[in-house]
Structure 1
């Protein structure tokens, strides 16, 4: 398929045209497409769910590979639990539902996240007190530099907060992901205060995994974070900014600048750092839910961290709104927010 608008392949419904679009329903097809493009010296953009990518108005000049691989299989059961292998193109929430239906726990708090299973290690996707790095055992990839398929172990994936060796790195094409799950219908310990409150339990308690999934789906829907074609608030990439992790000195400087803003929520992070909610900083810098930018873009009416495309807009308009928010938070608190999604052929 040649020159095609990329709007249809992203949850934002934004992005210019591609030089060419091709579909891979098998891992071998995906590898062959990438190899072929490399021989031609042509760039490749891999898209699956398109839920964590912002594509510029000029589109992408090379080949866009739509990853449509499918499949979930149990590789082995042992004393450490159950090893489950999922194809990179498998829709993430369908995979979570499948594992729970098979009596396997560990992914329930990550229910409702848009996108594909193969995208989750790239971003080290996380929500409600957990992240995929807690359950990933290995990631099967095509290494473009070595021109071979490899299995990367958990340490080799370099997982960090919303990051990994795969993020912003064209070397790796994720083909399959191995998750180590519990052979149980009881959830992993509940680690997130809001979720614990909704469940009526204490932090660290376990409840039925299905109940956690149901509660998380309701929480996400209330924030416009579950894809719904009828709800324009879900035309987003989820959280646009990561929660800043501040040094003790930066945290002290933020507190000095609070004045009448009140005490922000915060959590201790590694090495004496402090994690502060970006949503709180954005709101206190004067950007409320529903705050409108130009040309059909706005902050979600349900969640301050989501920047949405209401229709008829452009990527540049969305980025202008992101810049306005970033600069406003910097001017108010001296904290620089960083984007969470992958930016393709555009920049903040």
Structure 2
């Protein structure tokens, strides 16, 4: 980092600057070592100026949003971390525009307060708006692809800003063309909702039951938001939960679901079901859903539990554990290191593979580390 005056760049661009800054406090896992420089951009103008200058100088750059889907190595990041803190939210009729750095749940809350429907099932998801099209964020039967209108990107190869339609992003299950690449940076997200005050159809059985409604029914979006927040809180899947005694609930010190639900070829399904019957019993049935294209989606949480990794594994005193509320979340119990988390992730991944022949893939972005 000798080719650019980063403090000077930060001042010129209207951004904040810190040297040798810890990154653990900027992730929901509270894990990760320091970066060489941390630049905080409070608006889109400063974000574009900083990233353009860093790219022109060939500096190693890590873009940080809400930190909810990120695992950073204990060694940290040898380069400039750019924190996206642009937080604008604009509701114009049924069109909602959010800056990339806006807290996602603030966006959802603003739309529900405005009497709009379409985002309520995505309530309580930690992180920022800019991550939603990258991951095609989804929960409780809804995903961002359902409402996405367009996305403004910074092309880091040319420095140009442009808008793209959802079709260009090839949105899929927890993925898009933006995932695992760094040549395009999300600046703004636009979504088109509906103004009748009702939710999207309740496609997820657990949520429909919580609402006392039939699957496919619609309900007031504010009521659905409250129900989703209750469900997520009960699973520890919201950020910064506190216990009744005022201490942190470490079940919420996570990256959310650590593994995606595996999608396998239908030709491989009989072998998996045979392994399930041999291990769990002939009457056992792994939850499965048609994924299209001759593929089937399985439940990662179900497979993890039946492989011998229950809630809270490996038990009291371990620095990292599966959440005591939800087996898909790997959690920092307060004094963990990234290495501890990765070791647990490897154990669970390899255990599921050995038990059922299914390989689980991590959902978070891994920086400087791997499982």
- When the two structures are superposed, what TM-score results if normalisation uses the length of structure 2? 0.90
Stretch of structure 1 that moved more, 163-172 or 107-116 = 163-172
Q: Report how far residue 273 of structure 1 moved.
A: 1.6
**Equivalence for 1:22:** 39
2:160 corresponds to 1:148: yes
2:301 aligned partner: 279
Equivalents in 2 of 1:344, 1:103: separation in Å? 39
Give the distance between the partners of 2:191 and 2:170, measured in 1 at CA: 16
Q: Distance in 2 between matches of 1:260 and 1:314?
A: 33
Structure 1's consecutive aligned runs of 4 or more residues displaced over 6 angstroms after TM superposition are none
Match of 1:104, SS state, is coil
How far apart, CA to CA, are the structure 1 residues paired with 2:159 and 2:101? Answer: 21
Q: Residues 148-175 of structure 1: CA distance to partner in whole angstroms, max 9, x if unpaired?
A: 0010111111111100111111011111
Please say if 1:83 is aligned against 2:95. yes
Which 5+ residue runs of structure 1 have no aligned equivalent?
A: none
Normalised by the length of structure 1, the TM-score is 0.96
Residue deviations 1:117-146, cap 9 Å, x none? 111111110000011011111010110012
In the alignment, is the contact (CA less than 8 A) between 1:295 and 1:317 conserved in 2?
Answer: no
Matches within 5 A, 1:237-256: 237-256=255-274
CA RMSD of aligned residues (A): 1.2
Deviation at 1:260, TM superposition (A): 4.6
Aligned-partner SS, 1:211: helix
Specify the SS of the correspondent of 2:80: strand
Pairs within 5 Å for 1:64-103: 64-75=81-92, 77=93, 82-103=94-115
Residues 3 and 295 (structure 1 numbering): CA distance in 2 closer, same or farther, change over 3 Å? farther
Note the alpha carbon deviations across 1:201-246, whole angstroms, 9 max, x for none.
1111101111110000000001000111521000000000000111
Q: Report the CA distance between 1:184 and its aligned residue.
A: 1.8
Alignment of 1:1-348 (within 5 A): 1-75=18-92, 77=93, 82-227=94-239, 228-229=241-242, 230-258=248-276, 259-261=278-280, 262-292=284-314, 296-348=319-371
Q: How far 1:20 moved relative to its partner?
A: 0.3
Provide closer, same or farther for how the CA distance between residues 196 and 6 of structure 1 changes in structure 2, counting only shifts above 3 A: same
Would the aligned equivalents of 2:279 and 2:355 in 1 still touch at CA under 8 Å?
A: no
Check whether the contact 2:134–2:178 (CA below 8 A) recurs between aligned residues: yes
Unpaired segments ≥5 residues, structure 2 = 1-17, 243-247
Count of residues paired in the alignment: 343
Q: CA deviation at 1:40?
A: 2.2
